[in-house]
Chains A and B, each alone.
Chain A
Amino acid sequence: MSRFRWMTLPVVAAALLMSLAGTAQAQTAPDVDSLRQARQAAEMRDRQRLLTLLDDQKALESALADAREAHARASRQDAALRIEEAVRALSAARLESRRSDQDDRLAGLLSALARHSSEVRNALGDDSWLTLGDTPLPPRLDDAEVLEQRHLEDVVDSLAALTRATGQATAMTLPVVEPGGDVRKREVVRLGDFAAFTPDALLARSGAGESPALEPDTPKEVSRWLADYASGEDRTLAVDPTRGSVLEALTQRPTLGQRFHQGGYVGYVVVTLGALGLLAAALQYAYLLLVSARVRRQRRAPDTLRSNNPLGRVLLRFARLDKAQPPEALEARLDEAVLAELPRLERGQPLVKLLAAIAPLLGLLGTVTGMIVTFQAITVFGTGDPQLMAGGISQALVTTVLGLVTAVPLLFAQTALSSRSRALIQLIEGQASAALATHLEAQSPEGAAEGGHDPAPHLA
């Protein structure tokens, strides 16, 4: 009933407003009288209308009945709709719960697939040799909103292609970064995921999408193997199983020349001294060789005494002596003559001996100073970096190596010099004594025929 009243009231109000507006428009020049007249007219008209409505009681009744019937129909309909709504909501909740249930599983599956595909890519793609050629990497699944059959097929296909490529040796032409930074197309042989190389150098692994770089310090032996392998002559091959760290270590390993320079000033001094000693020894040894050749010639011709060799000089001096002296005095003069020859034959030996003794000592000195430097570095930087310490120590040891390496040839030279000069001196002394004895025997009446002959085979 209330709804009905609410429906009728606006109708009345609208009618009132409409009439007001109509009077307002009609009275373009408003004044108080005409307004009042208009109001009275409106009141009259309304009263008239009410009267007619009151008269039409029957019509009102029927309209009310119509309205009630409509209301009842509408409320029935409303109840049916409510029930339907409840049923719908129930099934919607059921569907929602099912959907969320399945959604969790599907999302988990998709993210796991995406993760695995990117993991496979990362494991393969960053520095794998397999990416060098045209072998495709498995596609990333991160972007896929909905997983479809073809995504999985792509992944499986590219994985299968990669797996096949690991067992193949492939030759291809690729841009390669050279040590200077130039990029040039080179013949490249790829052996699965183990190695890739040009015919003369190994390649360093590089990140995905970058050209591989030539290894700057490929060992000579390895590059020879590689050339043979690339030309099909040999099946020996160098592979770095540590994925580049061995090659990196090889690159960092100093060459022989760098090692030598690691020794520092002490190393230079040691080697310079050694070179000087060896030079002196070589000169003196050449002199001794010359002298012994001359002495040999002198011994073959004992009658013509030459003054270009020590034996000849000693014998010449003996020949000029006054032979009337007693044998002891003659021997003393002869010894003097031999002694005068000694310094020239033994020249250089003390120097070589001294250098041979000094070289290891200097090397030790270099080691100790290197250690001091190392420990100073430790005082400054702490022991946090054992590599720093190890590098310093191995540098310090280089000077000891240099000292020992220098001492060995010096010792050889010293032995060669001393043995040759000693043999020469012994020969000269013996020959001089023999000459004296021969002379004395020649003077004595009985032994004229003997003495000059030397039963001991010649020396030197």
Chain B
Amino acid sequence: MDLTSALVLAGLGAFHGLNPAMGWLFAVALGLQERSRAAVLRALPPIVLGHAGSVLITLALVSAARLAAPPKLVSYGVAALVCGFGVWRLVRRRHPRWVGMKVSRLQLAGWSFLMATAHGAGLMVLPITLRAGHGTAALVSQSLLTTAIHTLSMLAATTALALVVYERLGVAVLRKAWFNLDSVWAVALIGAGVSAALT
């Protein structure tokens, strides 16, 4: 993996971590509910692991497809899938319904997995992985490395934001600062899909 790919992956990780809908806001809410910073920090690992699980599963599925199908076909397939998902995210608003405010760590990880999957977190990362690597061992190591870089960056962004909002800013900041990342997200997906088609 080259440096550019690693930086793009880290950037996407930070972007995902920045999105309140991906989990740091949930961690802040749980902290406020218990009035405890420890509760904020306790909530973050399951959230980040759920997100990483979603990314890894997406990469694993496409790796399997790459072992079975010609590279061009996989590239165009991924491009169509990622673009199509981005368009769908633009037109369709969804209100996920699963857990409430009282959640176990397992539920929190599951919620994060669903949110990441429903938003296409893994799909956005996918085109980066099409650039290099063939064969089972290469694909496995590349998927793991990709997930690791993305996840570490997401963890850093989400932890920093959760703590800054919990300790300093307060949730009132959301009213002005919570830009509609869903639209940005959808556009990013379409851009990632286009880049997959071009590489």
Do A and B truly interact? Answer: no
